Amino acid sequence: MSTAVLRTEIRLFGREPGGIFWILLFPTLLLVILGSIPSFRQPDPSFGGLRPVDAYVPVAVLLGLIVGGVQSMPQTLTGYRERGILRRMSTTPVRPGALLTAHMCVYGGAALCSALLALAVGRLAFGVALPRQGAGYALALLASVLVALALGSVVTALSRTTKIAGAIGSAVFFPSMFCAGVWLPVQAMPDALARGVGYTPFGAAAEALNRTAAGHWPGWAHLGVLAVWFVLLTAGARRWFRWE
């Protein structure tokens, strides 16, 4: 880990208006738009008595993470590889891994900021209760961030160019959004579908966030699914990653 590399990458992230918008602002903006629809503020039996806007806060939290991990990070990293930036840096005493670690910190950190923003706006604008099991929520969120970064690393590892990274990223992005509940929150999914989605990284993440938001400790099953995905994806990224 090199603090100089991290500081530089944070500064560079600040110069990307696209990244700032899509990771930090867009998920909360979506929450605000949905929350502005009157029917989304009425309790709904298909959401287990929650208001749809309540169910969309965890979705917004996961959305920032998916955009940051699966779309933005692979674009940046494959771009660095394409431009020979990784190569140039590997002729210096700094470990080339420092650049990868820095990116994970930047995108993971941005996703966490985005999550906090969604929680704050949900609370202040729509009266969505803050997670009742705070520690459990933090644990579930952290596990979700790690899985998103690991998934992004696999996309990076498999993509030779930024174009390919864009294509693979999108192919992973839409299913991930679906599983996170962007179109239909997991609470409202039919049981069989919800069960299947619970085995995907972001489906499990959504379930874990929902449980902790409601005041329970995250279930071992969901944390276990996240842990297995993390281990598999990290192993895949390590196996397939190329510096050049």
Partner 1 sequence: MVDGVSFGVEEGEIFGVLGPNGAGKTTTVECVEGLRVPDAGRVRVTGLDPVADHREVARVLGAQLQQSQLQPKLTVREALELYASFYEHPSDWKALVERLELGARLDTRFGKLSGGQQQRLFIALALIGGPRVVVLDELTTGLDPRARRDTWELIEDVRAGGVTVLLVTHFMEEAQRLCDRIAVIDKGRVAALDTPAGLIRRSAGGTVVSFTPSAELPGAELRALPALASVADRDGRITLTGTDETVTALLSLLARLRVTAHQLRVTDATLDDAFLDLTKEDAA
Q: How far is the CB of 29 from partner 1 (least distance, A)?
A: 25
162 neighbors 79 (Cβ within 8 angstroms): yes
Sole binder of partner 1 in the list 36, 42, 46, 92 (CB under 8 A)? 92
Report the C-alpha gap between 102 and 219 in whole angstroms.
31
Q: And the tokens for 239?
A: 């196996």
Read off the amino acid at residue 151.
Answer: L
User: In the chain, what is the straight-line distance between the N-terminal and C-terminal CA atoms, in Å?
Assistant: 21
Binding status of residue 101 toward partner 1 by CB under 8 A: no
Closer CB to partner 1, residue 76 or residue 210?
A: 76
Read off the amino acid at residue 65.
Answer: L
Chain position carrying tokens 């969901």: 222
Binding status of residue 213 toward partner 1 by CB under 8 A: no
Sole binder of partner 1 in the list 29, 34, 47, 90 (CB under 8 A)? 90
Binding status of residue 17 toward partner 1 by CB under 8 A: no
Left (φ > 0), alpha (ψ -120 to 50) or beta: where does 127 sit? left
Closer CB to partner 1, residue 16 or residue 125?
A: 16
Angle (nearest 5°) at CA 138 between 239 and 179: 60
Of residues 127-156, those binding partner 1 (CB under 8 A): none
Which among 11-19, 47-55, 59-67, 121-129 is the span making contact with partner 1, rule CB under 8 A?
11-19
Selection from 121, 130, 129 nearest residue 32 by Cα: 121
Backbone angles phi, psi at 197, to 5 degrees: -60, -30
Over the window 69 to 88, marking each residue x when it contacts partner 1 by CB under 8 A and - when it does not, the resulting string is -----------x--xxx-xx
Sole binder of partner 1 in the list 17, 18, 38, 93 (CB under 8 A)? 93
> Using CB under 8 A as the criterion, which residues of the chain lie in contact with partner 1 when the complex forms?
2, 4-5, 8, 11-12, 15-16, 80, 83-85, 87-88, 90-95
